Amino acid sequence: MKQLTKAEEQVMQALWQTGPAFVKDIIEVMPDPKPHYNTVSTLIKILMEKGFVDYKAFGKSHQYFALITKDAYSHKTVNNLVKGYFGGSFSNLVSFFVKEKELSINDLEKLVQKIKNTQKPKP
């Protein structure tokens, strides 16, 4: 899966939010300042080339839809972040946030509890 630029990611976020949409609908949900129609059209064409978006034609209009779910993209992006900056170790990622005081002991305890709740018991 290819990496997205910040602008491409903003378009994808809008498309994930709206579901299948026309360019004007995508622009409507994007943050201010709103990008120009032609800018969004160009970004959508790039996203199509990268395999993230496709369209359904309605006469001369195109309704665009995501080919990749937000969860799938998030999973890949987080894994790339951990691999590239933390040596592939999620422990190093958590340690980083603890050191930066972004994660408290209470937060860590909640995280451990969530992990325990999601792990399946072994037979």
**pLDDT class of 123 with cuts at 50, 70, 90:** low
33 prior amide bond cis, ω within 30: yes
Phi/psi at 24 (5° precision): -60, -35
Q: Give the C-alpha separation, 109 to 96, whole Å.
A: 16
Helix (H) or strand (E) holding 53: strand 53-58
pTM: 0.78
Segment 98-106 mean pLDDT? 81
Predicted pLDDT at 120: 66
Mean pLDDT of 29-43: 95
